[in-house]
Amino acid sequence: MTTPLYEVRNASKHYGSVIALDDVSLSIAPGEVIGLVGDNGAGKSTLVKILSGAHEPTHGQIFLEGVERRWSSPHEALEAGVETLYQDSGLAPHLSVSANVFLGREEYVKGLLGKLGFLAQKKMDLDAHANLERVGIAVPQSNRSISQLSGGQRQAVAIGRAVSWASKVIILDEPTNHLGARQAGEVLAIIRRAKAQGLGVIFISHTLPHVLEVTDRIVVLRLGKVVADAPTTEFDAEKLLGTITGLIDSK
């Protein structure tokens, strides 16, 4: 069998007497898009926090390219190639597009000026524009303030930043939430481009038509457990909704 790109095995997470996740296993291959769905309280957010390095599992193991990893922080997971975009996008509205793309990864000019803290602003502007364009995002000016962009453009920049920096896995938490049909379509196109680049994509969404449209496989969580893990072709909207709510027995 081919080694998964990213995998969590038998992960559980306890908060005192509350069991948020119970023996959850999930794996993803390069160039695969997985839909992670479930009702509120199903355990999706907890699993995302474990995969992104924000939380350690109470029990269970994490493997990246077959090597067991124990993330001590989200930054450690990020450095290993696992990017996570949460619902709030993490953008700084008062900064420019390029400053947001390079947020936490700023580049400095060479020599003494760089040592004094002078940023390579022109290079970051050009590189940010090229990186966003590579994943299919058109921003008029990379030195433009995020606050001047529409909600859809801001979300596109946040997703583009994550895709452009991800080297192995990208986790998208409700990326099409509150977007119009055209803007949501652009986000789904970005997910397809990430897949074409060989990234593993974990797509969390309550918008089931989007999940059915863009994913290869769907994992359904209910009350902290995996109740279904199957190719997307095995679901339609009615079956998927029934599996999430428990009205359809997936076993």
pLDDT confidence of residue 189? 86
Confidence of residue 140 (pLDDT cuts 50, 70, 90): low
pLDDT confidence of residue 151? 73
Superfamily of segment(s) 6-94+166-245:
P-loop containing nucleotide triphosphate hydrolases (3.40.50.300)
Q: What is the DSSP string of 55-95?
A: S--SEEEEEETTEEE--SSHHHHHHTTEEEE-TTTT--TTS
Domain ranges of the chain: 6-94+166-245
- Is 241 a residue whose pLDDT tops 90? yes
Residue 36, classed as helix, strand or coil, is: strand
pLDDT confidence of residue 86? 78
pLDDT confidence of residue 122? 83
Q: Are strands 169-173 and 6-15 parallel, antiparallel or unpaired?
A: unpaired
- Is 147 a residue whose pLDDT tops 60? yes
Question: What single-letter amino acid sits at 127?
Answer: D
pLDDT confidence of residue 162? 79
Give 17-73 pLDDT, tens digit per residue: 899 999 999 999 999 999 999 998 899 999 999 999 999 999 999 999 999 999 999
Quote the mean pLDDT of the chain: 86
- Region of poorest pLDDT, from 139-148, 167-176, 218-227: 139-148
Q: Are strands 200-204 and 33-37 parallel, antiparallel or unpaired?
A: parallel
pLDDT confidence of residue 26? 96
The pTM assigned to this predicted structure is 0.84
- Is 136 a residue whose pLDDT tops 80? no
From the CB of residue 211, how many other CB atoms can be counted at a distance below 10 Å? 23
Confidence of residue 165 (pLDDT cuts 50, 70, 90): confident
Give 61-102 pLDDT, tens digit per residue: 999 999 999 999 988 998 899 988 876 567 888 888 888 887
